[in-house]
Amino acid sequence: MRPISRPKAMKTTENNKKRIALFASGSGSNVFNIINYFEGSEIVEVTIVLSNKKNAGALVHAEKANIKALPFNRHDFFESNNVLRLLKSEQIDYIILAGFLWKIPENLISNFENKILNIHPSLLPKYGGKGMFGRHVHESVLANKEKETGITIHLVNEKYDDGKIIKQATCSIDESETLLSLQEKISKLEKENFPITIEQFITKK
Ligand code: GRF
């Protein structure tokens, strides 16, 4: 796990900011949005961004914002405590999954009980579970001629897409809806709702 960006010049352990770790596997548009939202926040600090993909856009966004960004592999995540140790050493309070595709192992669930949030691009429990990610979700929603869909922000437990729901937001599906137009609607809902829901969850509002 070699750093691919420099850590922030100063850590903020001297104040009461909650330190969050973002996990992402993909392009990282949510990571980008969350970083921007909390820039200058006195409540939340995005302390580190971690990815199971070396070339993830999410790491690039973090690097540009001068936030520590690290890739990790299966051994780090599933077969050792490397990721857990890193989170502990960074004094992470909450883990945010922003388009992260690996299942969260037991060592993280038990050490961050009720402190891991995920975003899913459907109205869970509909269109959740293994294999339901990215375009597969929206293709299934369209194939079933649903009249509405949306996003779900939920706590993470040992099963895929199964923890307590914290927030849902909906959008309608038009007759002429395409995969692309639906992806855009969902992306907009995610950007509008994810950072503020993280903030409200952390501040218990
Ligand atoms: C989002 O649709 C999120 O709901 C899902 O993965 C996608 C991540 O997109 N879990 P991005 O990498 O943040 O653009």
The domain spanning residue 63 has which CATH number? 3.40.50.170
Q: What is the mean pLDDT of residues 21-46?
A: 97
Predicted pLDDT at 8: 43
Which residues is 154 bridged to in the sheet? Answer: 118, 165
Q: How many angstroms does the Cα of residue 30 sit away from the middle of ligand 1? A: 6
Continuous H helices in the chain? 29-38, 57-64, 74, 82-89, 106-111, 135-143, 179-202
Asked if residue 12 is part of any domain, the answer here is: no
Asked if residue 9 is part of any domain, the answer here is: no
Kindly report the protein residue whose alpha carbon is nearest to atom 8 of ligand 1.
Answer: 99
Q: What is the mean pLDDT of residues 82-100?
A: 98
The pair phi, psi for residue 20, each rounded to 5°, is -115, 145
Nearest to 131 by CA among 119, 123, 143, 140: 140
Q: What is the mean pLDDT of residues 32-46?
A: 97
CB of 114 closer than 8 Å to CB of 162: no
Predicted pLDDT at 10: 42
Which residues is 23 bridged to in the sheet? Answer: 50, 97
Is the minimum distance from the CB of 150 to ligand 1 under 6 angstroms? no
Assigned token pair, 166 = 């914290």
Q: How many angstroms does the Cα of residue 14 sit away from the middle of ligand 1? A: 33
Q: What is the mean pLDDT of residues 32-52?
A: 98
Domain enclosing residue 114, as ranges: 18-202
Element (DSSP H or E) covering residue 71:
strand 68-71
Q: Look at residue 19 and give its three-state secondary structure.
A: strand
- Which atom of ligand 1 is nearest the CA belonging to 187? 2
Amino acid at 150: G
pLDDT by residue (tens digit) across 113-157?
A: 999 999 999 999 999 988 899 999 999 999 999 999 999 999 998
Predicted pLDDT at 7: 42
Give first-to-last CA distance, the chain, whole Å: 36
Q: Around Cβ 88, how many Cβ atoms within 10 Å?
A: 11
Report the predicted TM-score, pTM, of the whole model to 2 decimal places.
0.91
Asked if residue 124 is part of any domain, the answer here is: yes
Asked if residue 51 is part of any domain, the answer here is: yes
Which residue among 25, 29, 30, 104 is best mutated to probe the pocket of ligand 1, counting the most ligand atoms within 8 A of its Cβ? 30
Amino acid at 154: H
pLDDT band at 1 (very low <50, low <70, confident <90, very high): low
Predicted pLDDT at 2: 53
Asked if residue 191 is part of any domain, the answer here is: yes
Predicted pLDDT at 15: 73
Asked if residue 34 is part of any domain, the answer here is: yes
Number of domains in the chain: 1
